[in-house]
């Protein structure tokens, strides 16, 4: 692990004013959430919490993913990566130092979201599972940002890397709904049943590789509670496992490159 490289990435984030951009957009998102939620006839507090939780998550995700992708592609274009790899630093240290730096940025963003939501929780009736939701959002951001790091290293176009990352995020968020919709017919007869069976098996295989982001930060925890110790354990195990998988995949791709 190279802490000099970690500091270099964090300095780049400060230079690009990443956190200030997330702050400005978050303030706007909070105002829009309160305005939209106040238009509800019933359960205004619940609507405000739902809009705010989703809006802050998407704003932080967009900012972190775009910074990660454009930072990596800019480093390739300016040959900074080639220069860094000529120094006494291995490719493994290069990858895991970036993973640590991007994870620190997500933790800071997660703490910022938690601070805003805690102010809201002071005025509205929020269950104790609020802390579980904040913890899950942080891990969700950490997974997606490091997946963006992988795609930006593999794909040469920042647009393609961004589309691949957001496609991964959408599919991971919808994986639970897709698995619940698809069903297996024990004795398929029609073409539709064969197609549904094939899609069911396909998504069952995909769900083994893709994380279940819909289980990491459930908005229902803010409104209805229900968080248990197993929920904390699921977040840590699933987040840690997929973070390690994305990091190793990035290292393997960088290892086979010839500069």
Write out pLDDT tens, residues 202-255.
777 777 778 888 888 887 787 777 767 787 888 888 888 888 988 898 888 888
Mean pLDDT for the stretch of residues 33-54? 76
pLDDT in tens, 45-98: 778 788 888 888 899 999 999 999 999 988 888 887 777 777 777 888 888 989
197 contacts: CB under 8 Å, gap ≥ 6: 184, 185, 188
Percent of the chain whose pLDDT exceeds 90: 17
Q: Is the pLDDT of residue 135 over 80?
A: yes
Task: Give the span between the Cα atoms of 30 and 19, in whole angstroms.
Answer: 16
Structure pTM?
0.87
Angle at 177 between CA 193 and CA 188, to 5 degrees: 10
The rounded mean pLDDT for the chain is 82
Cβ(112)–Cβ(125) under 8 Å?
A: no
Cβ(144)–Cβ(169) under 8 Å?
A: yes
Cβ(213)–Cβ(178) under 8 Å?
A: no
Task: Give the span between the Cα atoms of 62 and 162, in whole angstroms.
Answer: 10
pLDDT on residue 150: 93
Tokens representing 237 are 């195990």
* Position 144 confidence tier, pLDDT thresholds 50, 70, 90: very high
């Amino acid at each position: 692990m190279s802490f000099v490289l970690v500091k270099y990435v964090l300095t780049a984030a400060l230079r690009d004013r990443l956190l200030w951009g997330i702050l400005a957009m978050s303030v706007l998102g909070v105002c829009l959430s309160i305005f939209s939620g106040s238009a509800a006839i019933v359960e205004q507090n619940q609507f405000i919490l739902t809009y705010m939780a989703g809006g802050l998550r998407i704003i932080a995700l967009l900012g972190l993913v775009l910074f990660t992708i454009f930072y990596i592609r800019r480093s390739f274009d300016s040959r900074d990566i080639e220069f860094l790899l000529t120094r006494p630093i291995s490719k493994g240290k290069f990858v895991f130092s970036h993973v640590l730096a991007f994870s620190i940025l997500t933790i800071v963003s997660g703490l910022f979201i938690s601070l805003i939501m805690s102010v809201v929780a002071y005025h509205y009736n929020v269950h104790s599972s609020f802390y579980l939701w904040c913890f899950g959002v942080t891990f969700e951001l950490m997974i997606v940002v490091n997946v963006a790091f992988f795609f930006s290293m593999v794909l040469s176009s920042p647009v393609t890397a961004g589309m691949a990352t957001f496609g991964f995020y959408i599919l991971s968020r919808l994986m639970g709904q897709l698995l619940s919709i698809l069903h297996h017919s024990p004795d398929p007869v029609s073409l539709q049943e064969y197609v549904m069976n094939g899609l069911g098996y396909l998504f069952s295989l995909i769900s083994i590789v893709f994380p279940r982001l819909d289980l990491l930060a459930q908005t229902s925890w803010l409104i209805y509670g229900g968080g248990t110790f197993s929920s904390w354990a699921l977040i840590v195990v699933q987040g840690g496992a997929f973070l390690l998988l994305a990091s190793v995949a990035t290292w393997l791709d960088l290892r086979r490159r010839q500069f």
